[in-house]
């Protein structure tokens, strides 16, 4: 435990001590892909001059801890490098969020197979276009959601969120007054026993 803390402190010190800009590589394959594809990404990133590598094997919808660590590690002037776009983002919307975060930190993005580098005017233009597409996609999704809710309401099918335990406070108190146990109240009202306990505790 103590050794791990010391190693982390040393790594943090080294990060704080560096003043030069870095090429930071990120490699990812899904857990179902072959090891060879993973090794090829790492090899290509090293050949491109990446000094720091973050790598993981996780599905396209899984949590990407190494990616989050890479984005956190990057500083102003650095460049995040990936071999292909699909290694980085799970969707256009996800890509837009990544681009926004990198721009806020002054970090560039290079996508090798597309020849895109946001440290150049052309690369920045291409990323702005992709970012615009991401925003458009999100707005369209929200609009479809609103239209769906409006239609459901008009047809009487939309009931909104299910009532919470707080909304059933009076019922909980009444059943408790009748002598029902918390477990019985929870089962009768279709809520958790913990919710019943909280309501009765607040009322005490």
Give the catalytic positions in this structure: 30
Alpha carbon distance 83, 90 (integer Å) = 15
Instruction: For residue 73, give every residue at least 6 positions away whose Cβ sits within 8 Å of its Cβ, in sequence order, or none.
Output: 15, 24, 52, 54
The alpha carbon of 201 is separated from its chain's Cα centroid by a whole number of angstroms, namely 36
DSSP-derived secondary structure for 51-118: SEEEEEE--TTS--HHHHHHHHH--TT-EEEESSHHHH-SSHHHHHHHHHHHHHHT-EEEEGGGTEET
Kindly give the interhelix angle for 182-189 and 169-177, rounded to the nearest 10 degrees. 140
């Amino acid at each position: 435990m103590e050794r791990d803390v010391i190693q982390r402190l040393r790594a943090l010190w080294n990060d704080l001590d560096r003043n030069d800009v870095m090429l930071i590589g990120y490699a990812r394959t899904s857990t179902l892909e072959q090891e060879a594809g993973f090794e090829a990404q790492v090899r290509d990133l090293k050949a491109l001059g990446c000094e720091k590598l973050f790598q993981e094997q996780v599905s396209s919808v899984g949590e990407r801890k190494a990616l989050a660590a890479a984005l956190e590690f990057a500083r102003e002037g650095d460049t995040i490098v990936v071999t292909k776009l699909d290694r980085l983002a799970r969707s256009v919307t996800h890509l837009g969020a990544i681009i926004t975060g990198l721009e806020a930190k002054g970090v560039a993005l290079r996508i090798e197979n597309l020849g895109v580098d946001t440290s150049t005017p052309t690369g920045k233009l291409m990323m702005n276009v992709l970012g615009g597409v991401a925003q458009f996609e999100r707005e369209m999704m929200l609009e479809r959601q609103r239209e769906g809710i409006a239609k459901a309401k008009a047809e009487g099918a939309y009931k909104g969120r299910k009532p919470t335990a707080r909304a059933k406070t009076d019922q909980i108190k009444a059943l408790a007054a009748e002598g029902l146990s918390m477990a019985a109240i929870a089962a009768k009202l279709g809520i958790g026993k913990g919710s019943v306990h909280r309501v009765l505790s607040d009322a005490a």
